[in-house]
Amino acid sequence: MDSPEPALKGAERITAYLKTLPDAPGVYRMLNAAGDVLYVGKAKSLKKRVTSYARGAVHSERLMRMVAETMEMVFVTTASETEALLLESNLIKRLKPRYNVSYRDDKSFPNILLREDHPFPQLLKHRGAKTAKGVYFGPFASAGAVNRTLNTLQRAFLLRSCSDSVFAARTRPCLLFQIKRCSAPCVSRIDLGGYHELVEEAESFLNGKSQAVQTELKAEMTKASDALDFEAAAKLRDRLKAMSHIQSSQGVNPATFDEADLFAAFSEGGHTCIQVFFFRAGQNWGNRPYFPRHDRDLPLAEVLESFVGQFYDERTAPKLILASEELAGAGLLAEALALRAGHRVEISTPQRGEKREIMERAMTNAREQLGRRMAENSAQTQLLEGVADVFGLEQPPRRIEVYDNSHIQGAHALGAFIVAGPEGFEKAQYRKFNIKAEDLTPGDDYAMMREVLTRRFARMMKEEAAESLQPEKWKRPDLVLIDGGPGQLSIACQVFADLGVEDVALAGISKGPDRDAGREHFYMPGKEPFRLDPKSPVLYYLQRLRDEAHRFVIGGHRKKRSAAIGANPLDEIAGVGAGRKRALLQHFGSARAVAGASLSDLSSVGGVSETLARKIFDFFHPGG
């Protein structure tokens, strides 16, 4: 435990702010000597809250350490405690302070969208802002859950999933019609009225009226069978089976509530798993585990309350939130979420009945998931300790970056790095670099590596020199792995020396003879090349890192190459928008024909003035 003296110094620094603080709600940030944000908190009265810190009225080792490290505080007053809570959640998610609860978040969940801006509505997966006209169903816990549900919905309701351009260009039914996943409205295999009946049935099903839809289809199937129309009866039977499959794959479907998010938290050994279940229209749209980072002695209810507040920072809360723990600030949190959502929000902890049964199942999931996570982390920790031994690091690396380049004879050159650490691959931290140097010799891997490393670490050094209060976007790695041999490693050493980068270990990894996996050579500055035991788990781990970097950069290169193949030179001409581009291509047939057209021919195209025609002509004939 810290000695009283540094804690006293921290309290003295905090006391200096009391004279100017108002007795009003707001948010405060506690910063250390380096300017790092230690903690973000809210208060109904900033003056009273800061007074408690100044007097040392803290009752845990965690808070004593926090007060001892505090050298500066920043305050923001708000109109109400509710607004303070919303701002607090936003700042915690953005700044990720050391003494707050924080977690990794992918921002958005996928939905199913029934687009209604076309005579024949389209059923598709949607992620992001809900700007398209139509009906949204979700959220779903993962893209996989959406894809599985969409595939089954196609069998159940035969709605199209193709884009409008594909729909307009069809002259014969596609494969989805052949395998009974679409009714082929594109070629009039179903009329507009019949298709809209399918749309209404799908909408009713997704809105929770599944029983009514199934009852109606069963009646139609019986009627068709009695009329000896066995083909129609068989189609209805297949649709009913598809609907039953959706319901059975969803597991728990509640009867006592239609819409809710459920949070089940389980803690053990200072680690926590929170399982989030999504229920909409009386159906379970999946679940996802989260593992928030927090101090080991923080009560589980506090962890869960902070997590829920951050979870809805950029999301709309449903009308009901079920939590496994009693939240001390449930009333204030519900008020804040209702303010953002535009409807009443209730937060409750189930005690009995169906809700309690569902919560207990979710708790079992959380407990089992945490057990698996802790086992995986133990193995990951051992691997990182092995990496530290191999490369002579003082402690296991928290952040490893692996660099690779990709090009075809110098064309569409791209560099990239991936990031790994104790939590596995940190995919949100991956970065790509379009090679910009105009004097670069095509295919010069050394020059490409120099540009990528220079741009990446120059940004890091600039951020560190600025000492900004914002979270670092270009964090300092503990170990940098270069996919290559002594040449690439030499370039990396030169870049680090030029930029003044220190305390970052550098190593190169190259494939062995005949590029055989398992015979890799490793290179480090000032050391002889070495190899690892072909059966070493650390070698397998390093191979995975290198292969992930290769996969990432190759994928980026292929996308860049595909985009270049599909690029049209007309897009580069100022004044030629989508409409004029379409008119030119329809008139001449291709961009090549436009390039060869005369000035008078260009002027004859509808919507192309003489001035624009001259601009187009000069673009393709710069010397004429």
Neighbours of 613 (CB within 10 A): 19
pLDDT tens track for 5-23: 444 566 778 888 888 888 8
Spatial separation of the C-alpha atoms in residues 359 and 321, rounded to whole Å: 12
Q: CB-based burial of residue 296 (10 Å sphere; 0-12 exposed, 13-18 middle, 19+ buried)?
A: exposed
Within a domain: 384: no
Q: Which residues of 107-143 are buried (b: 16+ CB within 10 A; e: fewer)?
A: eebbbbbbbeeeebbbbbbbbeeeeeebbebbbbbbe
**Whether residue 483 is found in the same domain as residue 546:** yes
**Whether residue 540 is found in the same domain as residue 609:** no
Percent of the chain with pLDDT over 70: 89
Within a domain: 280: no
**Whether residue 580 is found in the same domain as residue 551:** no
Picking from 420-424, 437-441, 452-456, 468-472, which range would have the lowest pLDDT averaged per residue? 468-472
Tokens describing residue 428: 């949100």
What is 483-518 written as a DSSP string?
ES-HHHHHHHHHHHHHHT--S-EEEEEE--GGG-TT
Average pLDDT in the 27-54 region? 89
Within a domain: 285: no
Within a domain: 164: yes
**Whether residue 552 is found in the same domain as residue 583:** no
- What letter does residue 597 receive in the DSSP assignment? -
**Whether residue 468 is found in the same domain as residue 575:** no
- What CATH number does residue 67 fall under? 3.40.1440.10
- What CATH number does residue 584 fall under? 1.10.150.20
Q: Is residue 523 within 8 Å of 390, Cβ to Cβ?
A: no
User: Residue 462: its pLDDT value, please?
Assistant: 86
Average pLDDT value over all residues in the chain? 84
According to DSSP, the β-strands at 400-408 and 479-483 are parallel
Number of domains in the chain: 5
Q: Which residues contact 99 (CB under 8 A, 6 or more apart)?
A: 30, 38, 39, 62, 65, 66, 295
Within a domain: 559: yes
User: Residue 2: its pLDDT value, please?
Assistant: 43
- What CATH number does residue 519 fall under? 3.30.420.340
- 473 in helix, strand or coil? coil
Domain span holding position 355? 260-267+295-372
pLDDT tens track for 186-226: 999 989 998 998 888 888 877 766 667 777 777 878 877 77
**Whether residue 476 is found in the same domain as residue 598:** no
pLDDT tens track for 42-90: 999 999 888 888 876 666 778 888 888 888 889 999 999 999 999 999 8
Within a domain: 379: no
Q: Tell how far CA 101 is from the center of its chain.
A: 19
Within a domain: 478: yes
Domain boundary among 217, 249, 281: 249
**Whether residue 217 is found in the same domain as residue 168:** yes
Q: Is residue 483 within 8 Å of 546, Cβ to Cβ?
A: yes
**Whether residue 67 is found in the same domain as residue 168:** no
Domain boundary among 249, 279, 306: 249
**Whether residue 554 is found in the same domain as residue 590:** no
Domain boundary among 564, 584, 599: 564
Q: Measuring CA to CA, which residue among 363, 271, 297 is closest to residue 324? A: 363
Q: Is the pTM of this model over 0.85?
A: no
User: Residue 3: its pLDDT value, please?
Assistant: 42
Spatial separation of the C-alpha atoms in residues 517 and 536, rounded to whole Å: 12
Within a domain: 608: yes
Q: Is residue 367 within 8 Å of 266, Cβ to Cβ?
A: yes
pLDDT tens track for 436-463: 776 667 667 888 899 999 999 999 888 8
Tokens describing residue 364: 């079992």
**Whether residue 512 is found in the same domain as residue 601:** no
Picking from 22-31, 387-396, 407-416, 586-595, which range would have the lowest pLDDT averaged per residue? 407-416
**Whether residue 474 is found in the same domain as residue 406:** yes
Amino acid at 555: G
**Whether residue 414 is found in the same domain as residue 511:** yes
